[in-house]
Structure 1
Amino acid sequence: MAQYTIKELEHLSGIKAHTLRVWEQRYNILCPKRTETNIRYYDDADLKAILNISLLNERGYKISKIAKMAPEQILQKVQQLCEEPCRGSHHTNTLVQAMVDMDEDLFDKTLSTATLQIGFKDTMSEVVYPFLNKIGVLWQTGNITPAHEHFVSNLIRQKLIVAIDGQVVRKQEGAPTFILYLPEGELHELALLYMNYILRAHNKHVIYLGQNLPFKDLELTYGQFKSSYICTVLTSAPERDQLQKYLNKLSDTFSEATIVVYGYLVQSNTSVKLPHNIVHLEKVGDLLLSVK
């Protein structure tokens, strides 16, 4: 069973730790446990409870009223809100709960409901990516296992592939070609798949090479298509101390292409200097703004 600090609850729920402590003392909303060394922590049940409470509070319910509700009433109210066409955070919170419980039906239903309400593109930008950002802290602190990561990644990946397969791209004469790939050792594919979806949705010609691609194969593909753009995501590869060298190699090898890079490695490494033909993408949804 996972153990969360109050700062982790703050990150996941959006409610300040100070407010959580006040609610805990005044309304008995949470009941923290203690380790053998007397350190306070919260469990999965506490996380799910505060996610539901934060949703009701966000939608106008006063905490004094929520505190008087039975758990069944809170859950019923949350379920009602999740059925309403709204662009709020309730879908994201529900995905967190579904991940904790590894509840595939709930995860799938939540994504499908959001897609029906606001469309697939907005579901990715307004629901899925905030969800991935929220649970990033859980991966860092070890409160979810690789099994949880694979669980959510595979389900989101399935949705992306279905959406991509449903697109019909008509290649236009003289239109630029985009090569999408992940470098050797890089397996985090969701952002690259989303790039593929965005480009195809705008009738762009894409060569999708996927995960763990040897550099020589990237060179061969570029030599065949002379692509105007190369797009990649750098999350865990190359090694952090090799990032500048890798970017320089990309720039020198494909000097006539515009190279779009996205991912944690580039975003978190402020010492990296981007070569002249490399563009750092801060949000996947802004991909089209980075290309002509």
Structure 2
Amino acid sequence: MEPRMRIGELSRRTGVSPELLRAWEQRYGLLRPERSQGGFRLYSEADEGRVRRTTALISRGVSAAEAARQAATAGGSTPAPGRPDRPVVEVLAGELTQSMDRFDAVGANAVLDQLFGTVSVDYAIRHVLIPYLHELGDRWADGTVSVAQEHFASHLIRGRLLGLAGDWGARNQATSVLACLPGETHDLGLVMLGLLMTRRGWRVTFLGADTPLDRLAEPVPGLHPSLVVLGTYDARLFRSHRDAVARLATETRVAVAGPLDEREVATTGAELLIDDIAEAAERLRVDD
């Protein structure tokens, strides 16, 4: 008998969100699940193959409806499980870089529309946006892109991700507050961390860049968060607010995100998150 999988496993294998998989099943009949004795939908490797063919066609400019139609009727072997078809991500990542370098907001948003319509938000952040931003930072450092290009790309991506944040996981039970320390204006990394956290069971209250400590203190008693994440890229800023961080750490769990010294952070009673945003979110996963 052919192996079957739940929708979460199908999503993990293909990089397509469960919500989008359900939409493709309902709108286009792309998936043909069976029901378990408990009533759960169970999907086959043939379903996985049709999803992979659909995402590959979408990456070449075919509409979702036409891609699903072609994938549903096409034969051929099922691609190996693991990650989505590599050309999909590679093509979109390349087009994103080209659009950003040209200050082409329409083109960049079109690429992001296609990206988020093809793979999950989680996969897009991990495998496209984080690598792109790292490369952008390296290119800025060596002078191959301008400050204007770096700002344009960062602000455009930040706006799109905030649009995806929605209710910041309002239906989740575990509560967290995310904020940059006073004087820290770069919050894009914290936005990405918060989005990944919502997909791992957290309800996020996002306060953003340059958060005054008195404002940070206001919501914490009312929310009773399980976790407060403070972000900064500047070790001097952290040192200037060390005492306030230590006071906060006596009230709740505090984690600090940024390129800081782990021992120095530990003296406040806070913990330093790993530099890898995706891995940090995974380690903060709320236990089921």
| TM-score, length basis structure 1 | 0.60
Aligned partner of 1:190 in structure 2 is 188
Instruction: Check conservation: 1:247, 1:274, Cα contact below 8 A.
Output: no
Letter in 2 for 1:253: L
Instruction: Check conservation: 1:157, 1:190, Cα contact below 8 A.
Output: yes
Is 1:148 matched with 2:149?
yes
Kindly report the root-mean-square deviation, in angstroms, between the aligned alpha carbons of the 2 structures.
Answer: 2.9
Cα shift readout 1:66-112 (whole Å, capped 9, x = no counterpart): xxxxxxxxxxxxxx995287335333332222222112232122222
Letter in 2 for 1:255: T
Letter in 2 for 1:103: D
Which segments of structure 1 move beyond 6 Å, counting only runs of 4 or more? none
Instruction: Check conservation: 1:179, 1:208, Cα contact below 8 A.
Output: yes
Structure 1 position 220, deviation (Å): 2.6
Cα shift readout 1:12-47 (whole Å, capped 9, x = no counterpart): xxxxxxxxxxxxxxxxxxxxxxxxxxxxxxxxxxxx
Is 1:251 matched with 2:246?
yes
Q: Which runs of 5+ in 1 are unaligned?
A: 1-79
Which deviates more from structure 2 when the two are superposed, residues 208-217 or residues 120-129? 208-217
Q: Residue 234 of structure 1: which of 232, 235, 258 is its match?
A: 232
CA, structure 1 residues 207+273, in 2 after alignment: closer, same or farther (shift >3 Å)? closer
Structure 1 position 259, deviation (Å): 1.8
In 1: Cα distance, 2:107 partner to 2:85 partner:
18
Aligned partner of 1:209 in structure 2 is 207
Aligned partner of 2:270 in structure 1 is 277
Letter in 1 for 2:249: F
CA, structure 1 residues 137+207, in 2 after alignment: closer, same or farther (shift >3 Å)? same
Instruction: Check conservation: 1:255, 1:277, Cα contact below 8 A.
Output: no
Q: What is the total number of aligned residue pairs between the two structures?
A: 204
Identity %: 19
Q: Residue 260 of structure 1: which of 244, 255, 259 is its match?
A: 255
Structure 1 position 166, deviation (Å): 6.7
Instruction: Check conservation: 2:197, 2:284, Cα contact below 8 A.
Output: no
CA, structure 1 residues 115+291, in 2 after alignment: closer, same or farther (shift >3 Å)? closer
Aligned partner of 1:60 in structure 2 is none
Aligned partner of 1:110 in structure 2 is 111
Is 1:160 matched with 2:161?
yes
Cα shift readout 1:222-277 (whole Å, capped 9, x = no counterpart): 23333221112212x4xx345345456413432242222223x32xx577453343
Q: Which runs of 5+ in 2 are unaligned?
A: 1-56, 62-83
SS at match of 1:213: coil
